[in-house]
Structure formats: C-alpha cells, structure tokens
Amino acid sequence: MTALRRFGLLAPLAAVSLAGCGLNSVPTAEEDVNAKWANLQADYQRRADLIPNLVATVKGYAKQESSVLIAVTQARADAGKITLNASDLSDPAKVKAFNDAQGRLTQAIIPLQRLQENYPDLKSNQNFLALQDQLEGTENRINASRRDYNTSVQAYNTRIRTFPDAIGAKVFYGAKPKVPFEASASAQQAPTVDFGNNAG
C-alpha cells in the first residue's frame, strides 16, 4: 500500500517534470514555424501568379524591352523549380538555394516595374498600374512574412537549445535548428536600371 501510495505521489511530479522538458512546447513551436513558412509560401506564390499578367500587359507597350521581359520570365521559372518543404527548413543548403532563387526574381522584377518611366502610355494603363500596385503590395507581404518566419524560427531554435526544453527536444524529437532567411548578396547593392535609348 505504501509503495502504491508513493507511486501515486510521484506520478504527478513526473508528469510535471516531463511537461517542463518540452514535450508540448517543442512541437507547438515547430508548428508555429511551419505555419509561418506556409504563409510565406503563399506570398511567394501570389507573386509568381501576378508576374505573367504584368509581363503580358507590358509586352503590348514595350516590345523592344524583350530582354527585361525574358529575364523576368526566366527568373520566375527558375524560382518555381526550387521547392522547399517544411521538412527542409533545417537544411541550410536547401534554404539558401530557395532564398537565392527568390532573390534573383526580386531583382528581375525591378526593371519591369520601372518600365513605365520610359513609356508614358504605360503610365495610363489601368491594368499595368493595378498589377504593379499588387506586386508592390506582395513584395511588402513577403518582407513581413519573412520577418514573422524568422521570429518564429528564432523562438523555436532558442526553445530547443535551452533548459529544460532542450532535454525533450533531443530525447523525444531529435529536433534540429530551423534555418532563418537572410538577405541575398545581391540585395546589398541597389539594382542598376538602364533602358538606354530604346524608348520609343
């Protein structure tokens, strides 16, 4: 009876100590990272969906700017080839490859957005202006989503490395740190936009 009673007293204590070892908090933090990643993916997809419409609208006005249009179309295709799943978020090489492809697409879009400066008719095209506004809004969403994702990654990585959650993270989940997004090397330099004397 005393052994059973002692076990009855120790069981709640064991449950409390296990709960303090990240059994619930680690998967909760990881799910938050995955949710933030899904939001960021949705924003990248929204941008990818807008680009063909923007390119098609510009084509009618700026036929001689085919190199800009080809560069944007190619960068979009390249970015679409590199996928990153929630299970890949602990692999720095995969995160870097994805980030670099998205960064190249961001850089390719800038000259496309500035084409209206050389083509006055494009400034009055409501479709172009609406698409450009949506694209700029999407870029802002991507930046906000990346910040949210990085904040979530920081919280998760801190949780799995600090006591007592580090115990449960290692023993029960084999948790690995998630990789935050960093600015690509090309983002450090302002893009050069030069349409030469092509304006008609």
The model carries a pTM of: 0.76
Q: How far apart are CA 148 and CA 40, in angstroms?
A: 9
Kindly give, in sequence order, each residue whose CB lies less than 8 Å from that of residue 127, ignoring residues fewer than 6 positions away.
53, 57
CATH for 38-184 is 1.20.1440.20
175 is written with which tokens?
Answer: 């948790």
Residue range 24-67, pLDDT digits in tens: 899 999 999 999 999 999 999 999 999 998 888 888 777 767 88
Q: How far apart are CA 47 and CA 160, in angstroms?
A: 33
Mean of the per-residue pLDDT values of the chain? 82
Q: Domain boundaries in the chain?
A: 38-184
